[in-house]
Chains A and B, each alone.
Chain A
Amino acid sequence: MNSGVAQSPIVSISQVTKDYTLGKVVVPALRGVDLQVHPGEFISIAGPSGSGKTTLLNLIGCVDTATAGVVRVAGQDTKQLSERQLTNLRLHTIGFIFQSFNLVSVLSVFQNVEFPLLLQRKLDKVQRRERVMQLLEQVGLAHHAKHRPNELSGGQRQRVAVARALVTRPQLVLADEPTANLDSVTGQNIIDLMKELNQKEGTTFIFSTHDAKVMNHANAVVRLADGKILDRLTPAEATRAMAAGAEAH
């Protein structure tokens, strides 16, 4: 299905720790994490809340920096980059899908999707239009291009968000709990859509979830607990392990 193993990893994390300071108390969120993600992978990060899923995604997404250890994204050590450079890295390399969709409410569906392209300033108006419509077509919302986000259902909004994340043709798409605010059928559809794009475009997806059904679609499930990676399993193994874990409780 994919031959990513031979390629250099798009994300490479080694011995990363991340501490949060809450007042005078230092709370460790990650305690020595190693992870390699190769191009084309469709990886799920699983674990109970507070296990460090979001922190790990933030580090990968270059919106946060590690306390110690090295985070490499697309070959670049994020610690060595300036704020500006990090922003540029996010703009050109990474797509984001948020749990609460985070669309700009005053802009239309089309404009929301076009937004990153405008920031990039690479394409002219015609090209942008073509690209945006192509993606809206892919997520099945071409007829809603002129609508405002508040005129759409939750699932439709998240599909707009997916289109926005992919419009720049990023190497990597990060999704933090993309289905948490959706009902199971809609959530399922979103994951299907992501999977489809992963297979068609070869885009790397990393998404966090605590939903076992969602995990099943991944190539691999990275399980986190207490800021450490427990293991890296196939979806089937993960389901079994989760079931066992549930029984143990």
Chain B
Amino acid sequence: MGGHLRLLMQVAFRNLFTSKINLLIGGIIFFGTLLVVVGGALLDSMDDAMSRSIIGSVAGHLQVYSDESKDNLSLYGDWSGEPDLTVLDDFSRLKPVLEKHPNVKTVVPMGTSGAMITSGNTVDLTLARLRDLYKQRAQKGESPALREGIDSVKAHVQQMVALMEQQKDKSRELLSDAAVDPQETEALARARSDAFWNGFEQDPFGSLEFLENRIAPQLPDGDLLDLRYVGTDLDAFQKSFDRMEIVDGQRVPQGKRGMLMSKFFYENFLKLKSALRLDNIKQERDVNHKLIAEDPQLQRWVKENQTQTREILFQLDPIKARIATERLQKALGSQEASLEKLLSAFFTTTDENFDERYQRFYQDLAPLLELYRLRMGDPITITAFTRSGYVQSVNMRVYGTYQFKGLEKSAMAGLINLMDLMSFRDLYGYLTADRKAEIADLQKGSGLREVSRADAEESLFGEGSGNTLVADATPGLIEDSKPFEGGMGALRREDLAARVYSQDEIEKGVALSAAVILKDPEKLQQTLQELKQAGTDAGMKLRVVSWQTAAGFMGQFVLLAKMVLYFAVFIIFVVAIVIINNAMMMATLQRVREVGTMRAIGAQRSFVLSMVLVETVVLGLVFGAGGALLGSGIMAVLNSAGIPAGNEALYFFFSGPRLHPTLSAGNLLAAFVIVLVVSAISTLYPAFLATRVSPLQAMQTDE
């Protein structure tokens, strides 16, 4: 028996390199295996990296949300915007149900939504500072320090107006006079006039109002930014998602309202654009080894920096402008007096001077500038449409910026800003306890009472309605002696920022979903089913989904790529089967006499069959092993060198700036099985033909 197989193997091995056909078949198998090994390992590694990205940023292992939701949860947004989810009424009821499961480590409440914010207009901001100073003067009286401050900011405003007029003149050269609004021109001229500034001190607030209303809007400066945020229990979030780290500022103090802005968002949308462009050029040059001389994108950034100097000019008051001018003159060795021209010359960067200019920018110019439009600790107003469609706005302090380790450059993870759950509920249009109290106060003050919808008709028009709601409400609203309760709302909102909420308050309320972190992620599917059951048992209609499903189209992406690869592999191997089949037929025909001889000598058909099969399998294994070996080698090189994520979209898939792909035994096994199956299938028919060779054919002579 052993001799039998040994003989077959020997025949197979010796036949391996005797025929060109075998080399052809071997080549196909070689490259097929290479593709399966490398492609499979790359995609698996990417899948793995991306799952770490998704799980580690916001998704957790599982997401739980209401089964009554119209849409499916999609944490990264969907093609059509935010999905329509039904809220989980009371997170504090859900939490214990989930936490009871032995495999659940933590449960974090969440809600994802978006709002528009404006990043602020430079003139507006400067005028606001001036108004503050005048307010102080009105309250405390004038002091030399205050006077100096007022004069400095006033000079800054004058400078701004002067700059704006210059720009107006410039645009007048380009556009026809008709395109310029005469009212704007008139307002500018007035703001430039000495008469206006001489009279400023007599009526500072009136003058400020004129500037705020007529001048500031002429500067289309503030961007409208799309802010995506996840409202969550910030402490639980930070504990559960250990890849999260604070970069600037500090974490939101426990129980307080506040926002942690994503570092990526902060850098890309709130940083001074000239500085951002310098950063971008530096990164492209250093990381991706691009050259300004060659890359059109870099050239565009340089060009933009040369021309778009206004943002810097507006920020500089006369003293700082003078300092900047001196520094630039020194740096450039120039006598040019115009700061605008100096800046333009300074930003004319080439591959030779870029590094020096970059350093000088941050050393000389940056200290004079506000590099970010928002400082840590500043409040921002977020205005969002609630689910029912009315506008709700909430002020909150931005405590710091955060990032997910490894995903610093990923736009996908970097566009998620974090806020406390209370603010989220306000913005989402759900009443927090504070809001309820506020409204109750309002109702009391105005004499309103709550009327359920069913009783509304009865209350309004029924016999028993002795007092009309309107009549009662009116006096409350116009009573001068009592402060308007509604006005308290704004004050209270100020208080809200300082309020500390207990864990109970945070958890008792709505959430859109809950992220579940597992102790053993291997048991994900099992836990998923059990949690679903646990929800049903507790009388809650829950939808429990894996991180992959929760990530929406993002989660499907690698799956899609895998399908494409396997389809390609499938096609290659179908072609391979056809080619191998044909080649083996030819090979069999060439060997008719040899097979006939064996049959004549006494070999059974089964022997011939196994001989051909063993031969192809050996062929497959030898060349397959070669392909797998080369594939492993390639993967080893890639593993140590890493594949750079060329663009920022790839950071998310790579879970960092470089993907270090690994080869798993599974990839090799898959390649092994595929090769075996393909070579066996493609040889069945030729092998069958070989068994039909008659021993008579041994007798045929060569001629």
Contacts and interface: CB of A to CB of B under 8 A. Distances in A.
A119 B601 contact: yes
Majority SS at the chain B contact face:
helix
A107 B11 contact: yes
B699 A176 contact: yes
B698 to A, nearest CB: 6
B333 interface: no
By secondary structure, the A interface counts as helix
Given A63-B699, A115-B7, A121-B4, A90 B18 contact: no
B699 A107 contact: no
Contact of B699 (A58, A87, A121): A58
A116 B598 CA distance: 9
A100 B701 contact: yes
A63 B7 contact: no
A91 interface: yes
B503 interface: no
Interface in A73-123: 83-84, 87-88, 90-92, 96, 98-100, 102, 104-107, 111, 115-116, 118-121
A99 B618 CA distance: 32
A90 B11 contact: no
Contacts, number: 80
Contacts of B605: 83, 87
A105 B590 CA distance: 13
Contact of A87 (B11, B593, B597, B602): B602
A128 B3 contact: yes
B694 interface: yes
Contact of A118 (B7, B18, B599, B604): B7
B1 interface: yes
Contacts of A119: 4, 601-604, 607
A41 B604 CA distance: 29
Contact of A106 (B3, B14, B599, B699): B14
A63 B4 CA distance: 23
A239 interface: no
Contact of B15 (A98, A106, A121): A106
A64 interface: yes
Nearest to B6: A118
Contact of B696 (A58, A88, A91, A164): A58
A53 B10 CA distance: 36
B7 A90 contact: no
B602 A98 contact: no
Given A111-B10, A121-B4, A90 B699 contact: no
Contacts of A107: 10-11, 14
B21 to A, nearest CB: 15
B11 A104 contact: yes
14 contacts: A63-B695, A63-B698, A90-B601, A91-B602, A96-B601, A102-B593, A106-B14, A106-B15, A107-B10, A107-B11, A115-B598, A125-B3, A128-B3, A176-B699
Interface of B: 1, 3-4, 7, 10-11, 14-15, 18, 593-594, 597-605, 607, 694-696, 698-699, 701-702
